[in-house]
Amino acid sequence: MNSFQRLADVRSLLQRSNTDAVLMTLQKNISWFTGGRSHVNIASEPACCSILITRIHCVIVINNIESGRLLEEEMSSEFAKAVTSWEIWSWHEPGKKEALIRKHLADTEFMKTDAQLEPEFLNLRSIIPQDRFLEMKRLGQLTGEAIEQTATEIQKGDSEFLIAGKLAYRCYERGLEPIVNLVAVDERAYQRRHPLPTDKRLNAYAMVVVCARKNGLIASASRLVHFGRIPDSLNEKQHAVVRIDSRLMHATRPETSLDDLFMQMKQFYRDEGFPEEYQNHHQGGLTGYATREKLAVSGESYKLRAGQLVAWNPSIAGVKSEDTLLVHHEANEWMTETNQYPYLEVKIDNKVYRRPAILQR
């Protein structure tokens, strides 16, 4: 999908919303619209610029610190052609930003922000166009490589902070931003579902989790590694959680609602003998330009569509299964599978799902 098509889509959104203009300020939407990085602070939702789109104009409003970098490094020449004007304000005169925006609103009556139009922007940005499939596949492949290389390189005695640093290094060397970087070792892997790293040192077992971003798009994956013989109880849990994950993936089809998938998932946990475990952590859902655009929860009527990204992450205390897949009309496609890790196979309706096992070191 080229820049002019995205611009046309936003203008169609304006028409449907009876709105004359939209001011885009959020990273997820501006990265989708421009195809490049739109942040300075990865922890901030606002982007480093604003984009005003009216029925006639497409205006970049940006301070002098970011203008050159954004134009020369983040925006394609094709996108630059879709922009009708650049409005640059000096960083020390923030009051001028509003005046520059108002200058282009003289003939408009109603303006909204992208935050106010979030449901409409979600529908636009969550469909990965076919001309970005290869980019998404490359992101998924690099994410899988980064986390699996980390799993093969960590050592007994490493702190969780050090492991997180190794994961970040393996992401950045591939041009990825590890915007979620979680590590739990030994008993913390059983205690914490969102394990921010600590100074605790690895003895035998580690869980590593990453959400890696490139040009706004995000891929998610988790991997487990054990030094020495894997306890039978741990292996049994991992087999159970990958069966849950495989059944979720099998049920993930276009026009299936997140509520329906949530209800099925609860049954999958019951079938494995862990009926309450789903309550201890979210199960994932729609992803794309946010780590999770929408979660599968009770009452969520949102229906998945072909071309969307989904990342499930079922967990049982101590184990987890997570990868990113692209939903197709026929068979879904794994984005973060590398074929370089030990796998478990689950057969459902004559289809074999290969899910990461615990790597024994």
For residue 234, give the CATH number of its domain.
3.90.230.10
pLDDT at 1: 56
Output the CA–CA distances (angstroms, integers) from residue 330 to 56, 139, 253, 305, 349, in the order listed.
39, 22, 9, 12, 14
pLDDT band of residue 3 (cuts 50, 70, 90) is confident
pLDDT of 131 > 90? The answer is no
For residues 218 and 311, state if they share a domain: yes
Q: Please report the pLDDT score of residue 106 as a whole number.
A: 82
Q: Quick check: 296 and 261 in contact, CB under 8 A? A: yes
Query: Among 125, 146, 168, which residue terminates a domain?
Result: 125
263 has pLDDT over 70: yes
pLDDT surpasses 90 at 136 = yes
Least confident of 8-22, 99-113, 221-235, 243-257: 99-113
**What total number of domains does the chain contain?**
2
Tell me the residue range of the domain where 146 lies.
130-360
Domain match, 194 and 331 both: yes
**What are the distances in angstroms from CA 305 to CA 264, 300, 330, 334?**
18, 15, 12, 16
Q: Alpha-carbon distance 213 to 272, whole Å?
A: 33
Q: Which of 83, 99, 125 is the endpoint of a domain?
A: 125
One-letter amino acid identity for 239?
A: H
pLDDT value, residue 132: 86
| 225-261 per-position pLDDT tens digit | 999 999 999 999 999 999 999 999 999 999 999 999 9
The reported pLDDT for the residue numbered 347 is 97
Q: Does residue 290 sit in helix, strand or coil?
A: coil
> 335-349, pLDDT tens digit by residue?
999 999 999 999 999
Angle (CA) 119 121 127, round 5°: 105
pLDDT of residue 58: 95
Q: Are residues 98 and 223 in the same domain?
A: no
Same domain, 145 and 234: yes
Mean of per-residue pLDDT scores for the chain: 95
| CATH number for 61 | 3.40.350.10
pLDDT digits (tens, 9 = 90+) for 156-176: 999 999 999 999 999 999 999
Regarding whether 115 and 248 lie in a shared domain, the answer is no
Average pLDDT, integer, range 81-110: 91
Domain boundary among 63, 93, 125: 125
Judgement on whether residues 189 and 118 belong to the same structural domain of the protein: no
**Pair 150, 44 in one domain:** no
How far are the Cα atoms of 46, 104, 145, 304 from residue 123, in angstroms, in the given order?
Answer: 20, 27, 30, 10
Residues 182 and 322 in one domain: yes
* Mean pLDDT score, 127-144: 94
pLDDT at residue 80 tops 90: no
Together in a domain, 116 and 136: no
Q: Which residues contact 50 (CB under 8 A, 6 or more apart)?
A: 23, 24, 25, 60, 61, 62, 97, 101
Assign 130 a pLDDT band (cuts: 50, 70, 90): confident
Q: Are 325 and 128 in contact (CB under 8 A)?
A: no
Among residues 323, 152, 359, the alpha carbon closest in space to that of 222 is found at: 323
Structure confidence at residue 96 (pLDDT): 94
Do residue 213 and residue 345 come from a single domain?
A: yes
Q: Does residue 183 share a domain with residue 35?
A: no
Whether 324 and 189 share a structural domain: yes
Region class of 150: left (phi > 0), else alpha (psi between -120 and 50), else beta:
alpha
